[in-house]
A and B are shown apart, each in its own frame.
Chain A
């Protein structure tokens, strides 16, 4: 117990090393933390700025430097995107089960800020000699995250989908994904983005008999597997997830893509 401060569950202060604006209202904050350095793609941290609510965030860079990529939507995320170099935030984690590599020909889909855990997954796959194909989707071209970095990493294996057609395929990333999956060149699927997008891709993967992993997001309190506020079926998103595989998803089909718990624990429809 001597080193409890270095346990992942302990709150730790980290300084922002630099901030990169990825798109309007979306910033990546880089920091250095010995525990996050050893995280797996798909794991998340709880991020807190005193005075505001602590929130879960996927790690968007894993390595010598770590990062989170934040979209300004609520009070905490707005404050985080306005942090400058040298300012601090408080983190605990990394938490949860990350992605597990499967297959030889992986197919990935990232929608909106769902690109955050997908980028380090792509980097890990490449470092293991895999050649992933990725659909990067967003509402419009200037909301596409990590576009240059992913182009550099993936070349022609990077596909773009925008809802408004401003770049690449015009329409939902899930529609484009279904089309590419029909070509039958893949043996494993990964997705992160809006839950209805992930549910559509899950159904397509099941039709093709392909294993899939998706990363889910839920309101969380403890992030320690204790309080149950992030329950989905028999699972805790914070501890059993946030990455769910095909077998787990088959058990939670009445909730996945449809419902979530509000902070009081009442099941309510997902709004996206």
Chain B
């Protein structure tokens, strides 16, 4: 008889062995080591840092978030303490033995390379290249240019020996083309997707709510779009995909796996579900696997593509 004990949530993705496939998304609670430790203790399989740049950034003034039907729009503006400072936080995580994926960005190709090099020496498991932030001029535009994505991926891969995930933007006409560009540049995996460009207005004040005017949509409203992106990317590349966009329950997680994701990132759901969302999704996944006669998460990956 097959019992719960035989079901394995552990995965291997781009050479990383993780205890389960669910992580926090970049930008969610990734500003300090203490918060990321808590995310790991709450059941995440790995933790992802805030996107780190070369220099400290304060980000945009508040309001930086606006809730809308089915989701949240944010324009934080990549606030981060800068790579030099953040190495101290990474050291605390390394001491705690926590698998860390360090998200990073640059304003120039050289900056991408420099930040990635410094982070990769800090004991992180992997890097996630953020070329898709919709809220900082230049960074989001980069992610919609396949040539630029290939060049920055190549440049970073030349200098670092850690697995590199490239986080893709949904704000492009052909996400598969960008995915192929990252793969050709040597990416070990892809994270799909970042937030969808959006805005919110207040009819009483007759003003946009966000100080940045536009922001990125996350949460359940993003999910069908992001799921479609994962589907298209899975058909276009061989490298593994981390699915991200509106995952709130284990059902969403299963949909992403079936569409082709090998691992998952959760963000906005923490607002509604709390940090227990990591355990809840993993528990639901385990039940789904058991009830449907599967033994491992990897058996689900891309299953919906089979004719």
Instruction: Kindly list chain B residues whose C-beta atoms are within 8 Å of the C-beta of A234.
Output: 34-35, 37-38
Contact status B35-A261, CB under 8 Å: no
Binds A, one of B79-87, B98-106, B133-141: B79-87
- Rounded to whole angstroms, the CA-CA distance of A169 and B204 in the bound complex is 48
- Rounded to whole angstroms, the CA-CA distance of A231 and B61 in the bound complex is 18
Contact status A11-B81, CB under 8 Å: no
Contact status A264-B70, CB under 8 Å: no
Contact status A226-B66, CB under 8 Å: no
Minimum C-beta distance from A178 to chain B (A): 30
Contact pick for B204, options A4, A9, A13, A221, CB 8 Å: A13
Chain A residue at minimum C-beta to C-beta distance from B37: A234
Contact status B69-A221, CB under 8 Å: no
Contact status A54-B62, CB under 8 Å: yes
Count of chain B residues with a beta carbon within 8 Å of a chain A beta carbon: 46
Most B Cβ at <10 Å: residue of A11, A220, A263, A264: A264
Contact status B205-A264, CB under 8 Å: no
Count of chain A residues with a beta carbon within 8 Å of a chain B beta carbon: 37
Instruction: Kindly list chain A residues whose C-beta atoms are within 8 Å of the C-beta of B68.
Output: 4
Contact status A226-B271, CB under 8 Å: yes
Task: Identify whether the interface residues of A are mostly helix, strand, loop, or mixed.
Answer: loop
A229-B31 CB under 8 A given contacts A9-B271, A263-B58, A265-B50: yes
- Rounded to whole angstroms, the CA-CA distance of A92 and B209 in the bound complex is 12
Minimum C-beta distance from B17 to chain A (A): 25
Minimum C-beta distance from B228 to chain A (A): 20
Chain B residue at minimum C-beta to C-beta distance from A54: B62
- Rounded to whole angstroms, the CA-CA distance of A9 and B27 in the bound complex is 19
Asked if B207 is an interface residue, CB under 8 A from chain A, the answer is: yes
Instruction: Kindly list chain A residues whose C-beta atoms are within 8 Å of the C-beta of B79.
Output: 221, 229, 263-265
Asked if A40 is an interface residue, CB under 8 A from chain B, the answer is: no
Minimum C-beta distance from B18 to chain A (A): 21
Contact pick for A228, options B28, B37, B202, CB 8 Å: B28
Instruction: Kindly list chain A residues whose C-beta atoms are within 8 Å of the C-beta of B65.
Output: 221-224, 226-227
Instruction: Kindly list chain A residues whose C-beta atoms are within 8 Å of the C-beta of B230.
Output: none
| Nearest 10 A/B pairs, CB to CB | A54-B62, A228-B31, A13-B204, A264-B56, A265-B31, A265-B81, A234-B38, A263-B58, A9-B67, A266-B81
